[in-house]
Amino acid sequence: MVTIKGTDFFATLKRIFVTGLAAIVPLGITIYVIGGLFYFADGILGRLINKFLYRYLGYTVPGLGIVIAVLIIFLAGMLIRLSRMRLFRWIERMFFRIPLVNKIYFPVKQIFDFLFFSPQYAFKSAVLLEYPRKGVYTLGFITNENSFNLKKAEGQNLQNVFIPSSPSPLTGFIVMAKKGDLIHLDLGVDEAIKLIVSGGLLMPLEK
Tens digits of per-residue pLDDT, 153-192? 556 678 889 998 887 776 788 888 888 899 999 888 888 8
How many whole angstroms separate alpha carbon 128 and alpha carbon 8?
Answer: 36
pLDDT attached to residue 163: 92
DSSP-derived letter for residue 181 is G
| Contact between residue 156 and residue 179 where contact means Cβ atoms under 8 Å apart | yes
- The two beta strands, 182-184 and 125-130, are antiparallel
Over 60: is that where the pLDDT of 149 sits? no
In the chain, % of residues over pLDDT 70? 72
Q: Which whole-number Å values give the CA distances from 112 to 3, 33, 99, 132, 176, in the listed order?
A: 47, 13, 21, 30, 28
DSSP-derived letter for residue 174 is E
User: What value does the mean pLDDT of the chain take?
Assistant: 75
HSE value, Cβ hemisphere, 13 Å, CA-based, for 182: 24
pTM of the model: 0.45
Tell me the per-residue pLDDT of 36-47, one tens digit each, with 9 for 90 and over: 777 777 777 778
142 beta partners? 125, 161
